[in-house]
Structure 1
């Protein structure tokens, strides 16, 4: 049984105690460069690659392990700085990012297209439209967690203005809710329904139930995304209606997540890799203005990872995550286009990582009644 020690932190703590920020050394960077050069000679499609196709030296492997371990410790986050994206092409950056991910865990599919490596950039989409996804817009995003153990954002290009990343300790926010309104805090342990925004497997219903605060006895875990709660209320008549008290609880949670005591802002620079534990941190982003030139536009690459040392999840999160065992392959949005190549990758990578992989089947729980 793993021991996990994430603790509540405040914005001022993250500002002054920067052990969560790690700078790559020259030797570590050289390890990533050499691995990329080798991977380019191998020339395999991403889903056919194994870690040996991106062979890291001991220094680079150690840097990745420290970074991932930091996401599972006190902060629930890590900022790894110094990946040489300034001298890597866009294709090189994509290959290197996928390659380093092979040393960290098992990638998850992220959307209705079942993509494994998403481009986070403005392509003119609308965030709050039906089935809208914020990563394809320049909009300010609501606070949310992604559907995996760890989300990695590699910054290739920063915006001209804005696009700041905001991170909050979910433990600290829930502690404050319990202090000021214990009655509302308790409601977060009950059932809440979220829209899949069209990214479910064809065998799944278009919404799912996931209490915002899970019921694990030892490991804290929170999951929230109000935009998708509202979408489920608006789009699906059979989803139970939110009570006034539940809406008040969500309002208070929104208020606390934006409170400067809890909300820490950071500007991601080219070469920064932000890694967030989705059970103990909540994140968002400010709106941004972009450059006109295509290759100067804000561009991040996003990986969703299941990792070997992740905590057990609450039993009442099984419907959404598919597996709640510590260190199991779980999470992701299955989408409609999972390929046989991805299934083969998933099984092979899980075995290489020593991670349990349960054969997938939809878990549909009965609708909660008031």
Structure 2
């Protein structure tokens, strides 16, 4: 018989609003340390893929990342760093800064057909709904979802004219609530659902896979809720058909996440860097209206990270994560452009963090 999960990640919106632990403003010395770090990396001359943590001196910024990693795995599951100098830097320098910080947090994972390790989150004519839809390149309102790896990081460079509010909810608290009011739906969420790969599969991957929404392994909970990909699977003739019970189980996750009791909203500002543990937090975004001038349009950068000392995952997630063991490189959407440089980066980054590589 299943029981509620008692953990700091099982929060409700009022808990976050009262505690304020989601936000970590940077002090002057910490911002200075980030500037010194960027200068060191820039003058070091190494390409981004060649950087290791040894090339990125953190100084007074190091305790900030220690606090961050603890909050992600053992605390509420997300945190926003505020005060980075995004508006004083070029896009290229911001990209280098974000990547450099990421070298200390995990191994960057590819995010789509182009096998890109960092994505530009901005309206670029994409379509959210459909067999090939992804949300990051549209201005659409996004369903609550998880991304395809242990941790997702967003770095805000510019905001929209209106909208684009970031929303998070605790998968753990929602699990507990469904267990209380609709236990049969919880049982269904622990079983497999078909997920479409959105036409971004590699040559050696099938166009869809099966994975549960909820899972446990060795006492560790994990959620993987990507409703848009499950919905898109139903456009195919060769996948499992969803039943009324399936739809009800998927609906209740989204419906609870949208309520004031579970939803916590935040407005990301330029210089904010948000990190989310996908296994315990689902996130969404409201529709936004952009400025007309290209140089003012909303622009964020995104990293997907496989992190050291993460939780073990259940066998049912192997098809999508490739590895389910802790301290291994896992997750991401392999895409169609993995080459020698990316493979070499992954092996080097894994070794630097004491992780076991999982070759493509």
The TM-score range, normalised by the shorter chain, is: over 0.9
- SS for the counterpart of 1:348 is helix
**Is the CA contact 2:112–2:333 (under 8 Å) kept in the aligned structure 1?**
yes
Residue 151 (str. 1) matches residue 152 (str. 2): yes
Which secondary structure state, in structure 2, belongs to the residue aligned with residue 155 of structure 1? strand
How far apart are 1:243 and its partner, in Å?
1.6
- Aligned partners of 1:164 and 1:286 also within 8 Å: yes
Pairwise CA distance, 1:53: 2.8
Alpha-carbon distance in 1 for matches of 2:129, 2:22: 32
Aligned residue for 1:28?
A: 30
Superposed structure 1 runs of 4+ greater than 6 Å apart: none
Alignment of structure 1 residues 244-283 onto 2, 5 Å: 244-283=244-283
2:130, 2:232 within 8 Å by CA — same for their partners in 1?
no
Instruction: Trace 1:44-123 onto structure 2 (pairs within 5 A).
Output: 44-57=46-59, 59-123=60-124
CA contact under 8 A between 2:152 and 2:275: conserved in structure 1?
A: yes
Q: Unpaired runs of 5+ in structure 1?
A: 361-370
Contact (CA 8 Å) 1:214, 1:315: kept in 2 or not? Answer: no
Tell me whether 111-120 or 45-54 shows the greater mean CA deviation: 45-54
Give the equivalent residue in structure 1 for 2:314: 314
1:29 to partner: Cα distance? 1.0
**Is residue 355 of structure 2 the alignment partner of residue 355 of structure 1?**
yes
The normalised TM-score by structure 2 is 0.96
Q: 2:345 is paired with a residue of what secondary structure? A: helix
Tell me which moved more, 220-229 or 276-285.
Answer: 220-229
Q: Distance in 2 between matches of 1:93 and 1:145?
A: 25
Structure with higher strand content:
2
TM score, norm. by length of structure 1: 0.93
Superposed displacement of residue 217, structure 1: 3.9
Note the residue ranges of structure 2 that are not aligned, 5 or more in a row. 1-5
Give 1:5 shift: 4.8
Q: Cα distance 1:14–1:313, how it changes in 2: closer, same or farther (>3 A)?
A: same
Cα RMSD (Å) of the superposition?
1.4
Task: Tell which deviates more after alignment, 108-117 or 311-320.
Answer: 311-320
Alpha-carbon distance in 2 for matches of 1:289, 1:349: 38
- From 37, 40, 43, the equivalent of 1:38 is 40
> In the alignment, which residue of structure 2 is the partner of 1:8?
10
Contact 1:141–1:284 (CA under 8 A) maintained in structure 2: yes
Q: CA deviation at 1:42?
A: 2.5
Aligned residues, how many? Answer: 355
| Greater shift in the superposed pair: 7-16 or 331-340 | 7-16
Q: CA deviation at 1:136?
A: 0.7
